[in-house]
Copies of this chain bind each other. A is one copy, B any other.
Amino acid sequence: MTDEPTRRRPTLDEVAERAGVSRTAASRVLNNAPHVSRDKREAVQRAIRELGYVPNPTARALATQQAGAVALIVAGDDPAVFADPFFGQVVAGATTVLEETDLHLMLCLATSARGQLRVQQLLHTRAVDGVMLMALREGDPLTRLALDADIPAVFGGRPLGQDVPSFVDVDNVGGARAATEYLISQGRTRIAMITGPLDTDVSRARHRGYREALTLAGLTPHGEEPGDFTELGGITAMDALLARHPDTDAVFAANDNMAAGALRALRRAGRTVPGDTAVIGFDDLPVAEVSDPPLTTIHQPIQALGQEMTRMLLALVAGGSPSPLLLPTRLVRRESA
Chain A interface residues toward B at CB < 8 A = 6, 9, 54-59, 61-62, 67-69, 72, 79-80, 82-85, 87-89, 91-92, 95-96, 99-100, 104-109, 111-112, 114-115, 118, 121-122, 124-127, 150, 230-232, 235, 260-261, 264, 267, 286-287, 289-290, 292, 303
Contact = CB atoms under 8 A, between A and B. Distances in A.
Nearest to A230: B286
A231 to B, nearest CB: 4
Contacts of A55: 125
Q: How many copies does the complex hold?
A: 2
A89 B99 CA distance: 24
Contacts of A109: 91-92, 95
14 contacts: A54-B121, A61-B62, A62-B62, A69-B106, A80-B303, A82-B89, A82-B95, A83-B92, A95-B107, A95-B111, A231-B286, A232-B289, A264-B290, A267-B292
Contacts of A118: 99, 104
A92 B105 contact: no
A105 B104 contact: no
A106 B105 contact: yes
Nearest to A116: B99
3 shortest A-B CB distances, which residue pairs?
A83-B88, A79-B92, A231-B290
Contacts of A95: 79, 82, 107-109, 111, 115
A96 B114 CA distance: 9
A88 B87 contact: yes
Contacts of A235: 290
A59 B61 CA distance: 9
A263 to B, nearest CB: 9
B85 A83 contact: yes
Contacts of A106: 69, 104-107
